[in-house]
Amino acid sequence: MTDTTPKSDGDNFTGRPWHLAGGVVLLLVLIAIVYWPAIGAGIIWDDFDGYAGNPLLHTWEGLRRIWMHPPSLPLDGHYYPLVLTGFWLEHQLSGGSVLVPHVTNIVLHAANALFIWAILRRLSVPGAWLAAAVWTLHPLQVESVAWIYERKNTLSFFFWLWAAWVWMPLATRWSWRRYAAVCVLFVCALLSKTSSVTLAPVLAILHWWMKDRLDRRDLAALASLFLAAFAFGLFDMFLFTARSPWDYGLTFANHLVLFGKTFWFYIGKLICPIHLMPIYPKWNLDAVRWTNWLFPLTAVLFLALIAVRWRKGDHALTAGTLYFLAALGPFLGLIEYNYFGTSYAADHLLYQASPGPIALACAAAVRGYRQLRLPQWAGTAAIALLIAVLGFLSWSHCRLFDSAETLFTHNLELNPQAFKAHLLIGGEQERRGAFEEAAEHYQAAIAIEPRYAPNHARLALALVRMGRLTQALEASQRSLAMDANDGLSLNNHANIVADLSGPEAALPYYRQAYERRPGVPIIQLNYAMALHETGRNTEALERLGEYDHLAGATPHSTLLRGFVLHELGETERARLLLDAALREEPGLTDLLLATAKAHEARGRQAPALHSYRQLLLLAPDDLTALNNAAWILATAPGEQNRNGEEARRHAERVNTLTNGRNPGVLDTLAAARAEAGDFEGAIQAAREAVERARSQGNDGLAHRAALRLEKYEQGRPHRAP
């Protein structure tokens, strides 16, 4: 076995302090140069839901929920509380700037590189600094560094490497304090990414490499780590499958073929890191095709050769290979994981596994250089060339992370069948308000994969934002026909139905969405709103209670609770809540006004009137709400929406606020008086409206008011068409 005392790196950075300092500075400078474009990277994929648009990052209640209520966590349902806590702190410090998390990722990546160098030095691995430099500058690491939500990798690997560093002296001298520190760091790694369970077998390999044997105490200590890994893995799997169950229909033979293809794919990308992309084409796993079996068979043959080398004493090659297999184990295709829905491989999955083969390759290169006794300048030149090539490739790859549109347009050039790339580009365009362009990408995704329900669901949302509700309903129905149990799709479908046919028609869909995904706050809030709008205020309060339990009280939930309590007759409590909501988010009045106008423009007078009444609870003297509510109450075709006395009260108030000089308000006042049976007052107000409209040059209004005047003179109220 190898002596664990560091004598030399096997490169130009010896144990002298100034040499080590030079190595650290050089490594950090290279990282800063190569990953500089990542500082300005944009929002990629799940960065929006995980960081930029994550409501849990705004409040102390959100921080509590990150740790104590896993079902309320965003995205895929895994339990990553340490990652989200880091995001919470960064959000509090920077106000949601994406610059800070990008810088943090780079800093963590640099720390990981230094840890790798230190560990390899302690193991006396030749070319330790070179291995650390190659690992950190390798283009495969860009995805983990430039992608905000892949903090899961950079942070978990930081604790992983720290735990390995603390563990290493245990091979020669046992310490319960040191072992306790390893356990704490292991838990931190697990709380950053569940796949850190593989640290347990990696520590076993490391211990065997350093000590050449495992005694009872070693086995007991490692067994406790394996048990913790197993328990945490089961816990996380339970959370995930309860929220996002999957079944990709792969047989055992398919998994064996996938193992072989995945193994050689990752080896190939380590050797030749070109044509990198977030979404790789899915491989054909047909077990009947004999050529597919060449991949697992050659992989097994390769591993058999490694075993032969081990029997001949080449323990370094065995340890490095075992490390690679252990660290990559969950992602080698033998078991299914959620990314299978997108691709069978991903660059970021190699982040923790790649140091093993890279260290082996660098050690072999250094040994070969020494055996050939080449001049020092040749070795230095070769290292400089390798670092320059890797650095340029990584720097270029970093620039693709400028935005989701840039990255996934590049992805489509390399993999035109990556329909999820269209979804991600469309999502970014939606956030910019480019709904037409987003819809085109969603339609392109449907053309590639028409059986994927979210393609149709996203198209439906884009069509809603474009005001094409009938087409949106059709797209949403296609989505539900493929997956009738998706809670979010049911929620979106209910929103469309509510816009088209009212909350009563949408209520069954909101109820189904709630039954499928009771842990999603937005579903609770929408369901509560529909219950309130249909007069089921007691049930609405129950849903709001669940919403506050899931996400904490927000201005919108506080506002809705105030409206519900007002309907239930608790006016004083309602007023306190409405005032609190308005203080926290003054823009709520603008939102209600926009909602009311949108309903009115679509001819949906009942929900428009409902929104105007809610607005008047917040802003009793809002001129637009007073005038428009009075008009609906006075002229609505349906008797259920008319109320002459309420209309006259609102119209008299807005007329007073405008000093009786606004012809449009006078026209509304005339209609309100007529509905209330005061035709004499209606005639007077209508005549004033006609005169003021003509004096202001508004001939259109003067003409319409004159026509309505004729009705009032005949003793007939006006009815809107």
Could you read off the pLDDT of 182-237 as tens digits, one per residue? 999 999 999 998 888 888 888 888 887 777 777 778 788 888 888 888 888 777 77
Tell me: pLDDT of 308 over 90: no
Please answer whether residues 155 and 108 qualify as being in contact, where contact means their C-beta atoms are separated by less than 8 angstroms: yes
| DSSP string for 205-267 | HHHHHHHSS--HHHHHHHHHHHHHHHHHHHHHHHHHHHHS-------HHHHHHHHHHHHHHHH
Confidence tier at 3 by pLDDT (50, 70, 90): very low
Q: Give the pLDDT of residue 440.
A: 93
Taking 80 as the threshold, does the pLDDT of residue 465 lie above it? yes
DSSP per position, 133-160: HHHHH-GGGHHHHHSGGGHHHHHHHHHH
Residue 5 — very low, low, confident or very high, per pLDDT cuts 50/70/90? Answer: very low
Which tokens go with 139?
Answer: 């283009």
Q: How far is CA 338 from each of CA 306, 320, 345, 554, 667, rounded to the nearest angstrom?
A: 31, 28, 11, 32, 62
pLDDT at 4: 38
pLDDT digits (tens, 9 = 90+) for 94-133: 888 889 999 999 999 999 999 999 999 988 888 899 999 9
Res 245: pLDDT: 56
Q: How many C-beta atoms surround the C-beta of residue 499 within 10 A?
A: 20
What is the mean pLDDT of the segment spanning 442-463? 91
Q: Which comes out higher in pLDDT, residue 606 or 2?
A: 606
Contact status, residue 157 vs residue 136, Cβ threshold 8 Å? no
**143-157, 629-643, 687-701, range with greatest mean pLDDT:** 143-157
Q: Write the CA distances from 538 to 221, 504, 561, integer angstroms.
A: 55, 16, 11
**pLDDT bucket at 370, cuts 50 / 70 / 90:** confident
pLDDT average, residue stretch 2-9 = 39
Q: Which of 59-63, 455-459, 474-478 has the lowest mean pLDDT?
A: 59-63
How far apart (Å, rounded) are the C-alpha atoms in residues 423 and 410? 14
Whether 18 has a pLDDT exceeding 80, the answer reads no
Q: What is the mean pLDDT of residues 323-342?
A: 83
Residue 259 to residue 237: CA distance in whole angstroms? 21
pLDDT above 90 (res 297) = yes
State the pLDDT at residue 217.
Answer: 81
Q: What average pLDDT is seen over the chain? A: 86
Q: Which of 86-100, 229-243, 257-271 has the lowest mean pLDDT?
A: 229-243
Per DSSP, helices labelled H in 400-434 are 404-414, 419-432
Q: Would you say residue 249 has pLDDT above 80?
A: no
Average of per-residue pLDDT across 29-52: 89
pLDDT-based confidence at 15, cuts 50/70/90?
low
Residue ranges of the alpha helices (H) in 35-150?
Answer: 36-39, 47, 60-68, 81-94, 99-122, 128-137, 142-146
Is pTM beyond 0.95? Reply is no
- Residue 384, pLDDT > 50, answer yes
What is the structure's pLDDT at 83? 92
> What pLDDT is recorded for position 9?
42
Choice between 463 and 337, residue whose per-residue pLDDT is larger: 463
pLDDT at residue 696 greater than cutoff 50: yes
pLDDT for residue 263 is more than 60: yes
Tokens of 666: 């006078």
Burial 38-48 (b: 16+ CB within 10 A, else e): beebbbbbbbb
Query: Residue 242 above 70 pLDDT?
Result: no
pLDDT at 560: 85
